[in-house]
Chains A and B, each alone.
Chain A
Amino acid sequence: GAVVSQHPSRVICKSGTSVKIECRSLDFQATTMFWYRQFPKQSLMLMATSNEGSKATYEQGVEKDKFLINHASLTLSTLTVTSAHPEDSSFYICSATPLSGTFYGYTFGSGTRLTVV
């Protein structure tokens, strides 16, 4: 149980275009999902907390207008990188916990490797 599916696993896009990444909880409901970014040789950095039915909470330094998050249902959150540039190339990972209101047992998606050319 507690499977998180992330799609696509890899994407290459041209500079200036937008890319949407999906994160789905397959066998549980997740009122909260998290989006992370990881640059090579660095750790995961939390970008934002996605809350079902409300606005996402962004970490300091993360542009909310550039990284659009939508959490329209209890099983789906999407991250859209708008007007992507080469510096946005990174490994994006989502996570969710099946226990609403608690923070134990985070499950991660398999990640999306974004390359902007």
Chain B
Amino acid sequence: RKEVEQDPGPFNVPEGATVAFNCTYSNSASQSFFWYRQDCRKEPKLLMSVYSSGNEDGRFTAQLNRASQYISLLIRDSKLSDSATYLCVVNIGKLIFGQGTELSVKP
């Protein structure tokens, strides 16, 4: 079983749509959690950290459920510029990346 598993992609959505990404992790001792965004042939960039209380940054909402070892990312009112690969990342003393979910937002 992979340490971090994400929804298989790609997700193809129209502009303005709401899209949700899911992620599960296997190590219950995981310390912290993140969503990163990676554009084609570029390095990953931190999108947001994820907390049990849930956190929101504009159109993006992240949620963590430690009991079920589940992480989510919700993107509302998606824009063309949101097209990228979204990586679920877990810190177990080192960062472990999920395989990523590709999002393509179409006009």
Interface of A with B (CB < 8 Å)?
34, 36, 42-46, 49, 91, 93, 95, 103-106, 108-111, 113
Known: A103-B31, A103-B32, A104-B32. A46 touches B43 (CB 8 A): no
| A to B contact number (C-beta, < 8 Å) | 42
Residue among A34, A91, A108, A111 facing the most chain B CB atoms (10 A cut-off): A108
Interface residues of B (CB under 8 A from A): 31-32, 41-46, 49, 87, 91, 93-100
Task: State the CA gap A45–B46 with chains docked (Å).
Answer: 17
> Can you list 30 pairs linking A and B with CB atoms under 8 Å apart?
A34-B94, A34-B95, A42-B99, A43-B87, A43-B98, A43-B99, A43-B100, A44-B44, A46-B94, A46-B95, A49-B94, A91-B41, A93-B43, A93-B44, A95-B95, A103-B31, A103-B32, A103-B91, A103-B93, A103-B94, A103-B95, A104-B49, A106-B95, A108-B43, A108-B44, A109-B43, A110-B42, A110-B43, A111-B43, A113-B41
B44 partner residues in chain A, CB cutoff 8 A:
44, 93, 108
Which of chain A's residues have a CB closer than 8 A to the CB of B41?
Answer: 91, 113
Chain B residues within 8 Å of A45, by CB = 97
B97, chain A: closest CB distance, angstroms:
5
Interchain CA distance A81-B46 in the complex, whole Å = 27
Whole-angstrom distance between the Cβ of B1 and the nearest chain A Cβ: 15
Distance A104 CA – B41 CA, assembled complex (angstroms): 24
A57 to B89, CA, bound (A): 20
Query: Closest residue to A32 on the B side, CB-wise?
Result: B94
